[in-house]
Amino acid sequence: MKQIILITTLLLLGFSAWSQTEEIAPKVKGNYYGRGSVGLLMGEMSSGSAQISNGYAFSRGLDVGVGLAYENYNYTRFAPIFVETRYNFGKRETKPFVGLMGGYMAGLNQYNNARGFTAGLQAGITHYFTKHFGISTSVGYRYVMTESTNVYTQLHLFAPYPAMQNANIHRIEARLGIVIR
């Protein structure tokens, strides 16, 4: 019985000492991060977006990672695969940031062979509630260049329609997400 009380007391003291930190902001020299966000892309046609990215956070506020998203434009669904970089300002629990991203957009529609390129710039704020968890909000600009060929069926044969359709899309994006370090 004395051993159980001693072990419980030591565990509680350890947990209470752990909770007595002065700063919430992460103080790591380099670390893995994971981000997930949802957003609204506004422009000629508005649509929703969902992103997930993973990467490495360097010691001077620089984050570099890769990501995967789901978006649509004009009833064409895309899965952007991108590289992102983000610079965080400050060392407190609330950090403003600027970020760049760019990558390939793979089309997901069965009868529309679409693909393209995307690039963007964003600015926002991340607030950390604990050392390893925070929320992020941002606004930014996205450029998308797509190329697509419609595929029609005639007599049970798939034949590409000869005309290529190109689009240059300029959008404003607003995002809300979570960050795990």
Q: What does the CA dihedral 115, 121, 124, 130 come to, rounded to 10 degrees?
A: 60
User: Residue 154's pLDDT is what?
Assistant: 46
Please state, for a pLDDT cut of 70, what percent of the chain lies above it: 74
User: Residue 18's pLDDT is what?
Assistant: 41
Which residue pairs, CB below 8 angstroms and at least 24 apart, start in 161-169?
167/73, 167/74, 168/143, 168/144, 169/43, 169/44, 169/73, 169/142, 169/143, 169/144, 169/145
Where is pLDDT greater, at 90 or 22?
A: 90
User: Residue 19's pLDDT is what?
Assistant: 44
Query: Is CATH 2.40.160.20 the right assignment for the domain spanning 35-180?
Result: yes
Structure tokens at 45: 């046609």
- How is the chain split into domains, by residue range? 35-180
Residue keyed to tokens 């620089």: 62
Residues 102-133 pLDDT 10s: 999 988 887 777 888 999 999 999 999 998 89
The answer to whether 166 touches 145, Cβ cutoff 8 Å, is yes
User: Residue 113's pLDDT is what?
Assistant: 75
Structure tokens at 149: 């060929």
pLDDT band, very low/low/confident/very high, at 165 (cuts 50, 70, 90):
confident
User: Residue 75's pLDDT is what?
Assistant: 80
Residue 136, pLDDT above cutoff 50: yes
pLDDT mean across residues, the chain: 81
Nearest to 95 by CA among 57, 45, 46: 57
CA angle, 79 as apex, 63 and 39 as ends, to 5°?
Answer: 65
Which residue pairs, CB below 8 angstroms and at least 24 apart, start in 66-71?
67/35, 67/101, 67/103, 71/41, 71/47, 71/105
User: Residue 51's pLDDT is what?
Assistant: 95
CA distance 59 to 162: 52
Most confidently predicted of 4-8, 11-15, 124-128: 124-128
First and final C-alpha spacing in the chain: 39
pLDDT band, very low/low/confident/very high, at 147 (cuts 50, 70, 90):
confident
